[in-house]
């Protein structure tokens, strides 16, 4: 079995991040590399570049990593986290333009089936278009 694409969930809220990850694990299972982060380092609502980088490392797969975000800062901080990755990893990480919960479940299902990073991303993004 080749590596499955990793999924990273980035929310402003630790509860949303945990809950979304729970849904993925319950619905799709634990065969897909999965990590989540939410909240700022002080425990409030927000996102942290450092925590996002840790989550990317946790879910790392040679097949790549797809990130699902909720609102504005989650996306910009995820972009920063991706930029700070070593060059050889950077090209294997994408941020999906998809609803965080639905996108995470769809992306994980696609990853489970052995899809490539771009297939995983387009499946998550197909949601918004439909």
* C-beta of 46 vs 103, nearer to other proteins: 103
Task: Clarify whether 12 is annotated catalytic.
Answer: yes
Q: Report the run of H or E that residue 67 belongs to, with start and end.
A: strand 65-69
> Is residue 71 near other proteins by the rule CB under 8 A?
no
Count CB-CB contacts under 10 A for residue 91.
Answer: 11
> Is residue 28 near other proteins by the rule CB under 8 A?
yes
Residue 117, token pair as written in the block: 């990073």
Smallest gap from residue 58 Cβ to other proteins (A): 23
46, 56, 95, 110: which one binds other proteins (CB under 8 A):
110
* C-beta of 9 vs 56, nearer to other proteins: 9
The DSSP annotation for 5-53 comes to: PEEEEEESSHHHHHHHHHHHHHHT-SSS-EEEEES-TTSSS---HHHHH
The set of catalytic residues is: 12
**Footprint on this chain of other proteins (rule: CB under 8 A):** 26-28, 105-106, 109-110, 112-114, 123, 126-127, 130
């Amino acid at each position: 079995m080749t590596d499955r694409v990793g999924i990273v969930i980035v929310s402003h809220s630790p509860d949303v991040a945990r809950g979304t990850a729970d849904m993925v694990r319950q619905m799709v299972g634990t065969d897909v590399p999965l990590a989540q982060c939410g909240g700022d380092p002080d425990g409030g609502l927000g996102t942290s570049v450092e925590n996002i980088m840790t989550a990317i490392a946790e879910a790392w797969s040679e097949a790549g990593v797809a990130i699902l975000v909720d609102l504005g800062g989650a996306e910009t901080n995820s972009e920063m986290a991706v930029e700070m990755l070593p060059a050889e990893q950077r090209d294997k990480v994408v941020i999906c333009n998809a609803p965080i919960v639905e996108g995470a479940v769809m992306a994980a299902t696609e990853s489970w089936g052995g899809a490539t990073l771009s297939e995983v991303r387009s499946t998550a993004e197909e949601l918004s278009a439909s």
